Amino acid sequence: MNVHGSLSIEKEPGRWSRSLSDGYLAVAAVGILSGIVVAYARTPMHLPGHKAIWWMTPVLAARLVTRTRAGASAGALATAMTTLLLGGRIAGGIVQFPLVILAGVVLDLGVQMGERHRSSLWRKVLLLVLAGLVANLICFVKRLADPIGAFFSTGNLDDMLIAGSLHAAFGCLAGLLGAGAGYALLRVRSASS
């Protein structure tokens, strides 16, 4: 505890360090690779919201491993920019671009809530599953705003409910896979050091 006027030997942590910049570069690299996969990989599923598995899972895992505060946001930005530049459909064009970044912000908030409250591993995973659900539902809102190429029409409520449910399910799965991979990599890293 510092008393007013006394000298303190405590150093304030630097706002930016090499390890922090390396973490952000790693998350951005994962985001770029995810964007390439999303733009060029053709899956036989063709279901709404399934691309979350291809981008959200690795970005969330990279965010957990690097412990960068806004890592999922940076990864989502890199993914959306890469996909947009390569002609992919995740970003939905420049108008819906911020919604993909908002999905990354939701993932960051989920990780930070788990870290702040020092939750058990199962609670952290559950929190990230819910964050994945919300993040992919944000992408569903993006899809509603840009219905080009959608398999449903806004006048058909049943198709919209199916599409929203699939987005929610794939978001949960992406959150679960990302949390599982990230925490498994952290455990391996701590065991090896």
**Structure tokens that stand for 150 in this block:** 């959608």
CA–CA distance, 59 with 176 (Å, rounded to integer): 12
pLDDT attached to residue 8: 46
Would you say residue 94 lies in a domain?
Answer: yes
Would you say residue 4 lies in a domain?
Answer: no
CATH assignment of the domain containing 71:
1.10.1760
Would you say residue 40 lies in a domain?
Answer: yes
Within a 13 Å sphere around the CA of 171, how many CA atoms are in the beta-carbon half? Answer: 25
- The domain total for the chain is 1
Would you say residue 1 lies in a domain?
Answer: no
Range of the domain at 110: 18-192
pLDDT attached to residue 104: 95
CA–CA distance, 79 with 28 (Å, rounded to integer): 8
pLDDT digit string (tens) for the chain, length 193 residues: 455 554 545 455 556 678 888 999 999 999 999 999 988 888 777 788 888 999 999 999 999 999 999 999 999 999 999 998 998 777 566 777 888 999 999 999 999 999 898 889 999 999 999 999 999 999 888 767 665 555 545 567 777 888 889 999 999 999 999 999 999 999 999 888 7
Closest Cα partner for 143 from 108, 106, 103? 103
Would you say residue 8 lies in a domain?
Answer: no
pTM value is 0.84
Would you say residue 10 lies in a domain?
Answer: no
Would you say residue 73 lies in a domain?
Answer: yes
Would you say residue 2 lies in a domain?
Answer: no
